[in-house]
C-alpha cells in the first residue's frame, strides 16, 4: 500500500517542525527518513501514524492507498509503530506484550484465545524469541526488546510499518546484525515501511529510498545510490558522509584552488576518497599540504592533512595505494582533487 503526504505543516509553539512537506512512498518499499536531530523526521513519522496532528491547510492531506485517512482513528489506520525506546508494557510478559493488540480488538475481527495464542507464538518464532514468551521486558537485552516491539507491532497485521530510530539505543554490533535481519524480514513480509534515522550509513545500507530532511523540509529523495552520488546540495553532500570544502576559481576550464580566497570564489566539495596525494605536482592541479595523522587500522587508510592556512583536509585511500608512497607524518605532499562538486546555491555547512 502506498502512502502519500500532501503539504503538511506542523509547529510546536514558534518552532516550525515540518514546513510544507509532501512526499509519496510507493508500495512495498523500505524508506529511510534521514536527517539530523531537530530536522522533523520523527514528527513527520508520528503525523503519518496519527499520533500527532498537523496544521489544517486547504490541500493538506494524508492518503493511504489514495484514500484520505485524516480524521480516522489511529486504530483504523492499521499502522505498526515501533517506538524509539520500544515502549514495551513493563508489567506484561513478552507474550502479553505481543498479544496486546489482538486482545484489545473489538468487533468482527476479534480472535479467540486459541487463535491469539497461535498468532503470538508464530510471531515469537518470526522474531527469533522462542522460549522467551514468559520473560518480562527488563529481563531482555536491548536487541531482544527491539524484536518484541517489532513483533507487537506486526501482531495487528498492519498495512504499514513505521519505525522511530529502530536501532538508536543498541550497541554497534547488535545494530549491524539487527539491521540485516530487518532487511531480510522486510523482503519476506513485503510491508511498506518507513524508518527514521540520523545514521546515514544505516539509511544507505537498509533503505530502498532515502529521504533526507533538514529544518522541517525535504532536501532530497531518491535511491541510496542517487542521494550519495548525486547530492542536490551541500547539506545532503555533507550529511551523507564526510566531505572536504575547498575555495577556488574555475579558470579556462581548470580548477584553481586558492589558499586565501579573495573576491568571489567558488566552493568545491570533494569526498575524502576522491582525493589523490602525490609527492610532486606535475600537472599543476594540486596544492601543497602537510600530513598530520595517518590511521591504518580499518579497511581503508585514513589520512589527515593541513594546508597552509591550517585548514584540515581528510583523505581516504586503499591500503594498496597507500603502500605505493608510504607517506610519513609531517611529510609535505600535493593534494589533487579528482572529482569536485559545485552547487549553485550557497549552503553553509
Partner 1 sequence: MKNKTTRWSDRVIPILMITLTLLFVSLFLIIPLISIFTEAFRQGTRAYLESFKDEYAWSAIRLTLITAGIAVPMNVVFGVMAAWCITKFQFRGKNILITLIDLPFAISPVIAGLIFVLAFGQRTALGAWLIDHDIKIIFAAPGIVLATVFVTFPFVARELIPLMQEQGTLEEEAAVSLGAGGWSIFWRVTLPNIKWGLLYGLILCNARAMGEFGAVSVVSGHIRGETNTVPLYIETLYAGYSTVAAFSMATLLAGLAIITLIAKSIVEWKVKRGRRNTET
**Which residues are near partner 1 by CB under 8 A?**
49, 51, 74-75, 79-81, 83, 85, 87-92, 100-101, 103-106, 138, 152-153, 155-156
**C-beta of 44: minimal distance to partner 1 in Å?**
16
Query: Hey, what's the cell of 333?
Result: 605532499
**C-beta of 276: minimal distance to partner 1 in Å?**
51
Query: Hey, what's the cell of 148?
Result: 518484541
Nearer to partner 1, 14 or 310 (CB): 14
Reported in sequence order, the residue ranges of 158-283 that DSSP labels E, i.e. its strands, are 160-164, 192-197, 209-214, 217-223, 244-251, 254-257, 266-270, 275-278
Nearer to partner 1, 72 or 266 (CB): 72
Nearer to partner 1, 78 or 183 (CB): 78
**C-beta of 220: minimal distance to partner 1 in Å?**
29
**C-beta of 84: minimal distance to partner 1 in Å?**
9
Sequence-distant (6+) residues with CB within 8 A of 71 are none
Nearer to partner 1, 141 or 177 (CB): 141
Nearer to partner 1, 112 or 299 (CB): 112
**C-beta of 156: minimal distance to partner 1 in Å?**
6
Sequence-distant (6+) residues with CB within 8 A of 271 are 241, 242, 243, 244, 339
Distances (CA, A) of 273 to 60, 115, 276, 293, 313: 43, 55, 8, 16, 11
Nearer to partner 1, 66 or 138 (CB): 138
Nearer to partner 1, 48 or 275 (CB): 48
CB of 86 closer than 8 Å to CB of 57: no
**C-beta of 161: minimal distance to partner 1 in Å?**
11
Q: Which of 134, 340, 149, 113 is nearest to 247 (CA)?
A: 340
Distances (CA, A) of 181 to 8, 185, 333: 33, 6, 44
Query: Hey, what's the cell of 303?
Result: 589520512
**C-beta of 83: minimal distance to partner 1 in Å?**
6
Amino acid at each position: 500500500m502506498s502512502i502519500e503526504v500532501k503539504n503538511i505543516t506542523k509547529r510546536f509553539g514558534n518552532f516550525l517542525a515540518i514546513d510544507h512537506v509532501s512526499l509519496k512512498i510507493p508500495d512495498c518499499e523500505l524508506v529511510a527518513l534521514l536527517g539530523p536531530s531537530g530536522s522533523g523526521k520523527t514528527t513527520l513519522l508520528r503525523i503519518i501514524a496519527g499520533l500527532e496532528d498537523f496544521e489544517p491547510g486547504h490541500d493538506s492531506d494524508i492518503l493511504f492507498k489514495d484514500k484520505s485517512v485524516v480524521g480516522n482513528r489511529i486504530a483504523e489506520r492499521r499502522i505498526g509503530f515501533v517506538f524509539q525506546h520500544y515502549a514495551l508494557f513493563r508489567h506484561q510478559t513478552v507474550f502479553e506484550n505481543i498479544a496486546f493488540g489482538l486482545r484489545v480488538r473489538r468487533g468482527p475481527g476479534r480472535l479467540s484465545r486459541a487463535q491469539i495464542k497461535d498468532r503470538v507464538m508464530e510471531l515469537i518464532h518470526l522474531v527469533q524469541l522462542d522460549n522467551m514468551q514468559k520473560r518480562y521486558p527488563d529481563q531482555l537485552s536491548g536487541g531482544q526488546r527491539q524484536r518484541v516491539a517489532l513483533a507487537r507491532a506486526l501482531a495487528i497485521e498492519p498495512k504499514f510499518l513505521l519505525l522511530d530510530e529502530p536501532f538508536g539505543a543498541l550497541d554497534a554490533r547488535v545494530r549491524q546484525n539487527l539491521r540485516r535481519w530487518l532487511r531480510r524480514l522486510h523482503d519476506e513480509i513485503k510491508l511498506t515501511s518507513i524508518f527514521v534515522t540520523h545514521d546515514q550509513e544505516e539509511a544507505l545500507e537498509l533503505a530502498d529510498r532515502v529521504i533526507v530532511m533538514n529544518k522541517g523540509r525535504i532536501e532530497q529523495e531518491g535511491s541510496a545510490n542517487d542521494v550519495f552520488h548525486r547530492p542536490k546540495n551541500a547539506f545532503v553532500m555533507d550529511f551523507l558522509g564526510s566531505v572536504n570544502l575547498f575555495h577556488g576559481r574555475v579558470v579556462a576550464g581548470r580548477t584553481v584552488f586558492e589558499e586565501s580566497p579573495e573576491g568571489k570564489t567558488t566552493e568545491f566539495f570533494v569526498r575524502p576518497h576522491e582525493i589523490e596525494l602525490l609527492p610532486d605536482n606535475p600537472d599543476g592541479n594540486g596544492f601543497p599540504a602537510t600530513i598530520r595523522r595517518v590511521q591504518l587500522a580499518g579497511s581503508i587508510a585514513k589520512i589527515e592533512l593541513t594546508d597552509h592556512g591550517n585548514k584540515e583536509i581528510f583523505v581516504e585511500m586503499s591500503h594498496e595505494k597507500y603502500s605505493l608512497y608510504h607517506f610519513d607524518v609531517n611529510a609535505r605532499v600535493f593534494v589533487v582533487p579528482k572529482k569536485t562538486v559545485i552547487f549553485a546555491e550557497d549552503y553553509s555547512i
